[in-house]
Amino acid sequence: MNESEAKLILDKVLGSADADAVVVGLGGGTEASTRFADNLITQNVYQNNVSLRVSCAYGESHGSAVTNDLGDESLKNVVQRAQEIAKVSPPDPEYMPPVEAAETAKYPEVKSYCESTLGYDPMSKAKDIAAAAKTVAAKNLRLSGAYGTDYGFSAVANSDGLRAYHRSTGAEIHATVLSPTGSGWAEKMSNDSADIEVEKVVGEALRIGENSQDPQDSEAGKYTVILRPAALAEMLMFMFWGGFDAKATDEGRTFLRGKLGTKVCGDNVTLRSDPSEKRCPGNPFQGDGMVSPALNWLKDGVVENLAYSRYWAKKQGKKPTGMPSNIIMDGGGKSVDELVAGTDRGILVTRFWYIRFVDPMVPLVTGMTRDGLFMIEGGKVTKPIRHMRFNEKLLDVLGRITELGEPERTGEYISMLVPTVKIRDFNFTSTTKF
Amino acid sequence: MKDLCLHALDVAKGKGATYADARIVRLRNQYIMTEDERVSGIQDSDSIGIGVRVIADGAWGFAASAILDKGEVERVASQAVEIARASALAKAPDGLKWAEEPVHEGVFKTPVKKDPFTVPLEAKINLLMAANKEILNVAGVKKAHSHMRFIGEHRYLANTEGSMIESETTTSTATIQATAVSDETAKSRYFEAHPMNIGYEHIEATPLVAEATRVGEEAVAQLTGKPCPVGKKDLVLHPSHLALTMHESIGHATELDRVLGMEESLAGSSFATIDFLGNLKYGAPIMNIVCDNAMPFGLASRGWDDDCVEGQRWNVIKDGILVDYQTGREVCHAIDAKRSRGSCRADSWASIPIVRQSNIGLEPGKEDLTLDELIADTKDGIYIEGMGSFSIDQKRQNFQFGGDCFWEIKDGKKGAILKDVTYQAITTEFWGSLDAICDKRFWTPHGVLNCGKGDPMQVARMSHGSAPARFRQINVGGATK
């Protein structure tokens, strides 16, 4: 849906509401995903959907309703439902009026829309995947994974006159190559499908898969580790799920309580957000129309900002930030090979799996390694080893980073740019059977 | 709606599909959230659309749209066939094997006494607020959260074999949670009207307000609880906890698509491979794991699955031995099964059906045994209620679980509250240590609403019932080593 089509619907909804304040969000698009396993295409799907959210307020009583039916009758119904909910809701002391129209002047320019991604159709995708599967099958190995492309738009309008629209495309492939006793994994994501070379990604998974065959016994304990970006990114998400919410932090319910302005990890750790970052662009605005944050969360190991809602910022006399639309960790200049060469004894981790909080107040997290775990001895990768579970204190881990490599785009839940890192004394607590 | 489904099938057949199914689903969600003395959010969403799945040129295609008119349905059905033809570039040389199933026509409805979507919002808000108030009255509690969630799914499903089914399911749940804060840390405790396919009568029958003070007190007690010991302990696990342990270590491990490697790149595979069928000692001889998609109030009970297969009841583990899997029509041939077990579901009209966990649970013990008697019979152990931290490897072997609240058991007595308990095990070793299960009076169907699987990710719900059970000499405390 283009900007003028979205505006027509948003204006229609705004015009039919009689609440004191109204905010309307409209988002949607198309998603096409081709999934493969055992060198075959096993699933090939396409969907086209929209979501219209109407939020209404009478005084401080508010409510919202959502529909995906943009027919006239449905639009009337969704407004009516939102208004009915608002009317029976008790006044909310944390209610905030709509974002002012002038907020749009703060939006950064974000280029994340590529026509070439839209033109990459299921047949082209299937041809690329079939060719890669043939390469893997020729080695008697098994390729699985998925290649998804999408087009999305988001638009916001409110009764204060704010109007916002943004569109983007995305392409993401991840591939696993299975050998009889091991597996390898690789991924690539971009807004432009032209950036993605299927053979190259599958080739990397194949290399790791072949090298991971016949893993040797591993032994739990503390090791120097080299975490590839996907592994570190998965851990970093737990910083944001658990820590940076300002209200919860100020109320003593997160691990960053009392830590604003203090050093919590190493000098070499800077975590920031910037929706205009070309290597992992985010959305320029948030669901209510507020600009997405461009700021440091951690700067040289010091907690520089927390995530303030508009209400909590007003109460605490701070500037509202909202939640990040992307996460960037600054890196160094070393390649993975250079990091390995400088390691006398350690473990190379391709990625993690199933990380969860054990105690979010520490924060202590646990998880497993997956798809390629290798011993490093004398500056060289010497052998694959069986996978292990870790239990680690997240801030301590970020305090034990000794070297940083080049950042790469990754992120399962949010667009991220994260380097490969070397960490000392990483705590593996048990082994598994493969 | 039925006419639109049939029209989609006609178009797909006309374009060359050898099999097609069309599913129109309306999905309603109401989610009411509160924080302390305020309503922090009410989400009321409604989504409708059609998904058309086809086999053409011996390969799968699927397309879906939110627009329900004849022209769009024709476009979607045609697109599904085109996509299948693309899939055929990398298809199985001997073609898809699609298990036979009788033609079904019928209507299934969750038995609901009180439709949650017609209960006034004020009543729901008042109930949650009353619980929050009780929680906040407990000294040491700093935060009360509570929520109610209702899901309504109305589905029309037709296939080219002649099946035409309709289902209306209703899911209801509510949770209250207390958070206590000290100078050192914060601890939470929850209580729920566990999720079931049932009406609002379930919420009214659950003592959310009456339990609120206890919930608050147990959150506070955890602040100063004794730390988790390190070593081996007997574990007595309540059904509210065991539900997640079963989900992770049995439910996922016995999904046949995972076993075959079809989920390898995302959710993972399984150690319980086909060569183990009929001979893997999954657990102790008293371990009987039953799947039941016809179970009253089960979160996965919907008459027929999205392959149009009737809901069934069967053992995947019998007397401790792996004897079957959870299957769909596409995969059951791999174990020479003539008929699918009916475990294929999609999370919306926009998603393709995939093998999903059934309502899967542990059968109760055959001898009379109460929870009090089980604890009285335990010399040195830990009793765990509720779900907490959970992590398991992608083949479902090495796991580590926490919980929501923990008590020491010493010489047959439930003692002081512990904090930060975790236990670690290998799946078959853990289930091999099962030595006692309370009887059927104590069997309750807990479950999950947020099971993630598939790529693109789908979120499904299923019940996991059990009675309290005991596991001998399990490693605890390893997380803090």
Task: Name every chain A residue with its beta carbon within 8 A of the beta carbon of B420.
Answer: 358-359
Q: Do A78 and B46 touch (CB under 8 A)?
A: yes
Nearest beta carbon to residue B63 from set A46, A82, A353: A46
Report pLDDT digits (tens) over A52-107: 999 999 999 999 999 999 999 999 999 999 999 999 999 999 999 999 999 999 99
B479 close to A (CB below 8 A): yes
Interaxial angle between packed helices A72-88 and B121-136, expressed in degrees from 0 to 180 and rounded to the nearest 10? 40
Hey, are the CB atoms on B391 and A361 less than 8 Å from each other?
A: no
Q: Which residues of A touch B67 (CB under 8 A)?
A: 48
CB of B481 within 8 Å of any CB in chain A?
Answer: yes
Output the CATH code of domain B2-224: 3.30.2290.10
Whole-number pLDDT of residue B481: 52
Longest Cα–Cα distance in chain B: 73
Nearest CA of chain B to the CA of A333: how many Å? 30
**CB contact at 8 A, A27 and A144:** no
Task: Give contacts of A 361-390 with B, CB under 8 A.
Answer: 361, 364, 366-368, 370, 387, 389
pLDDT tens track for A309-324: 999 999 999 999 999 9
Closest partner residue to B390 (CB to CB) among A252, A356, A364 is: A356
**Before A363, cis peptide (omega within 30)?**
yes
A328: nearest Cα among A373, A289, A294: A294
Q: Phi, psi (5° rounding) for residue A121?
A: -90, 170
Q: What are phi and psi of B399, to 5 degrees?
A: -130, 160
User: For every one of its 481 residues, what pLDDT tens digit does chain B have, with 9 covering 90 and above?
Assistant: 899 999 999 999 999 999 999 999 999 999 999 999 999 999 899 999 999 999 999 999 999 999 999 999 999 999 999 999 999 999 999 889 999 999 999 999 999 999 999 999 999 999 999 999 999 999 999 999 999 999 999 999 999 999 999 999 999 999 999 999 999 999 999 999 999 999 999 999 999 999 999 999 999 999 999 999 999 999 999 999 999 999 999 999 999 999 999 999 899 999 999 999 999 999 999 999 999 999 999 999 999 999 999 999 999 999 999 999 999 999 999 999 999 999 999 999 999 999 999 999 999 999 999 999 999 999 999 999 999 999 999 999 999 999 999 999 999 999 999 999 999 999 999 999 999 999 999 999 999 999 999 999 999 999 999 999 999 999 999 887 5
Sign of the CA dihedral B232, B237, B241, B246? positive
**CA of A256: which chain B residue's CA is closest?**
B185
B positions 313-332 inside 8 Å of A (CB): none
For residue B291, how many other CB atoms are within 10 A of its CB?
A: 29
Cα–Cα distance measured from residue A368 to residue A365, given in angstroms and rounded to the nearest whole number: 11
The pLDDT tens digits of the residues spanning B252-271 come to: 999 999 999 999 989 999 99
Residue type, B59: A
Three-state secondary-structure class, residue A230: helix
First to last CA, chain A: 48
Is A173 in the B-facing interface, judged by CB distances under 8 Å?
Answer: no
Q: SS3 string of A106-173?
A: HCCCCCCCCHHHHHCCHHHHHHHHHHHHHHHHHCCCEEEEEEEEEEEEEEEEECCCCEEEEEEEEEEE
Q: B39 vs A125: CB contact, 8 Å cut-off?
A: no
Residue B478 to residue A429, Cβ atoms within 8 A: yes
Flag if B89 and A368 touch (Cβ within 8 Å).
no
Distance from CA of A345 to the nearest CA of B (A): 22
Q: What are phi and psi of A137, to 5 degrees?
A: -60, -35
Q: Under an 8 A CB cutoff, do B125 and A387 touch?
A: no
Say if the Cβ atoms of B85 and A123 lie within 8 Å. yes
Bridge partners, B187 (sequence order) = B180
Are B459 and B357 contacting, i.e. CB atoms less than 8 angstroms apart?
no
Stated as kind and residue range, the H or E segment containing A82 is: helix A72-88
CB–CB of A433 and B394 under 8 A? Answer: no
Query: For the domain A3-208, what is the CATH code?
Result: 3.30.2290.10
| Residue A146 forms contact with B (CB below 8 Å) | yes
**Minimum distance, in Å, between the CA of residue B130 and any CA atom of chain A:** 14
Q: Are B257 and B354 in contact (CB under 8 A)?
A: yes
Where in chain B are the domains? 2-224, 227-480
Q: Which of the residues B73, B393, B428 would you substitute to probe the A interface, choosing the one with the greatest number of A C-beta atoms within 10 Å?
A: B393
Sequence ranges of chain A with CATH classification 3.30.2290.10: 3-208
What distance lies between CA B54 and its chain's CA centroid? 27
Q: To the nearest whole angstrom, how far is the Cα of B267 from the nearest Cα of chain A?
A: 9
Find out whether A32 and A148 touch, Cβ atoms under 8 Å. Answer: yes
User: Which of A73, A78, A359 to mutate against chain B (most B CBs within 10 Å)?
Assistant: A359
Q: What's the rounded Cα separation, in Å, for the pair B334 and B275?
A: 11
Query: Among residues 21-80 of chain B, which lie with CB inside 8 Å of chain A?
Result: 38-49, 51, 59-67, 79-80
Nearest by CB: B426 against A85, A94, A433 = A433
ipTM of the complex: 0.95
Closest chain A residue to B402, measured at CA: A358
CB contact under 8 A, B48 and A78: no
- Between CA B441 and CA B451 the distance in angstroms is 28
* Cβ <8 Å between A48 and B66: yes
Given CB atoms, is A15 within the 8 Å cutoff of chain B?
no
Side chain identity, residue A386? R
What pLDDT was estimated at residue B478?
A: 81
